[in-house]
Copies of this chain bind each other. A is one copy, B any other.
């Protein structure tokens, strides 16, 4: 879209991801406009888009709030992701080209060489992105983008231990094998399990956070 509108969209999204605005908090158009350095018009555009991304909800009062997904929402979210991303992987396997496989292997190698969390994070998303694009369905892409942007992934990956990262890499490696063999069901199974596992890692992190309760300073 246009400049100011994009700035507003990205800025607000960042504010949510960096949790400078907390889940459940109200979003006031004028405040946001000031923070983004634009007028209310592009902010409204951005809010409508964020609503479609499930990051913001507009209540009956007409007020906008940052969504605050409950335990069940998270579960459902991962389930949907597993289903859709499984489908994407299956399609990618069916339409796999040598070039795709080459690029996936390249991406893998980079993470294997440096298993630090930030590097993992970076290449993890490009890896998933490559598969998603290879599936060749624009609707699938945007639905998954919306689901994934649900803050969750971000926090999940930060909670990954070195062993969990190694496990993740193993699964990615297997996925490349499946795609290289053009075996769509194998690909589906691998990624489906991959995401289910990510869910439980995240779930445990959540429990720990709940245990210490308040979590006052950020």
Contact = CB atoms under 8 A, between A and B. Distances in A.
Interface in A56-102: 58, 62, 73, 76-77, 79-80, 83-84, 87
Interface centre among A44, A54, A76, A142 (most CB of B within 10 A): A76
Which secondary structure dominates where chain A touches chain B?
helix
A83 B87 contact: yes
Interface in A1-23: 1-2
Contacts of A80: 84, 87, 137, 139-140, 143
A76 B140 contact: yes
A62 B2 contact: yes
19 contacts: A1-B58, A1-B62, A2-B62, A41-B41, A45-B45, A48-B48, A49-B52, A52-B52, A54-B139, A54-B142, A73-B139, A76-B137, A79-B87, A80-B84, A80-B139, A80-B140, A80-B143, A83-B84, A143-B143
Interface of A: 1-2, 41, 44-45, 48-49, 52, 54, 58, 62, 73, 76-77, 79-80, 83-84, 87, 137, 139-140, 142-143, 147
A83 to B, nearest CB: 6
A134 to B, nearest CB: 14
A86 to B, nearest CB: 9
Contacts of A137: 73, 76, 80
Interface centre among A2, A80, A140, A147 (most CB of B within 10 A): A80
Contacts of A73: 137, 139
A123 B168 CA distance: 47
